Amino acid sequence: MTTIVKVGKSIAIDSRITESDIVLDDNFKKFHEDNDNIYLFTGSMCNFEEMAKLYKEKGISDKSELFMDTTMLVFNKKSGDVTQIRTDKESKAVQVSPVSCHLYCLGTGRKYAYGAIGYIQRSMDKMTDEEVAREAIHSASVFDLYTCDKIKSWSACV
């Protein structure tokens, strides 16, 4: 499973891969990067690079069956804008929507991450958005078996 946290124009993701209650890897690269975007993934394993390529070429709807039960967040490196793409194994539909809120957490550790963000924002006002996102995932890793504290993060160049 995965925990992803977006705070303002920053985003972070953990690196743990699990199957049921078994930790398979604590240092897995669950993102793909090109010149413009960073693509972060959660859900069923798939060919991440292919999914990112199809999204960029606007062809993901044509091959949605390749990515069933996968969610991809596209983080624009320049603007910090985030778009969410969900694929559903039952309807075989692709849902694309902008993530316009300041705070957004996704994955198994999301409720812990939201709690940590609330605490951080009340007590530590000198942290950057990227530091808050990283700390939220770190806090989630304490309580959620499916989240680890090996974290990758980015901030937009705005």
**158 inside domain:** no
Q: What is the domain range of residue 82? A: 3-152
Q: Which residue has the higher pLDDT, 64 or 71?
A: 71
Paired sense of beta strands 22-25 and 17-19, if any: antiparallel
Q: Which of 26, 30, 37 is nearest to 4 (CA)?
A: 30
Please report whether residue 48 resides in a domain.
yes
CB 47 within 8 A of CB 78: no
Beta bridge partners of 99: 82
**Whole-number mean pLDDT of the chain?**
89
DSSP states along the chain: --EEEEETTEEEEE--EEETTEEEESS---EEE-SSEEEEEEES---HHHHHHHHHTT-GGGGGGGGTTEEEEEEETTT--EEEEEE-TTT--EEEEEE-SSEEEEETTHHHHHHHHHHHHHH-TT--HHHHHHHHHHHHHHH-TT--S-EEEEE---
The CATH number covering residue 113 comes to: 3.60.20.10
Summarised one tens digit per residue, pLDDT across range 21-53 is 888 889 999 999 999 999 999 888 778 888 888
The closest alpha carbon to 99, from 115, 80, 117, 114, belongs to: 80
DSSP-based three-state secondary structure for 72: strand
- Residue 18 covered by a domain: yes
Tell me the pTM.
Answer: 0.90
Model pLDDT for residues 85-94, shown as the tens digit of each residue: 988 767 667 8
Domain count of the chain?
Answer: 1
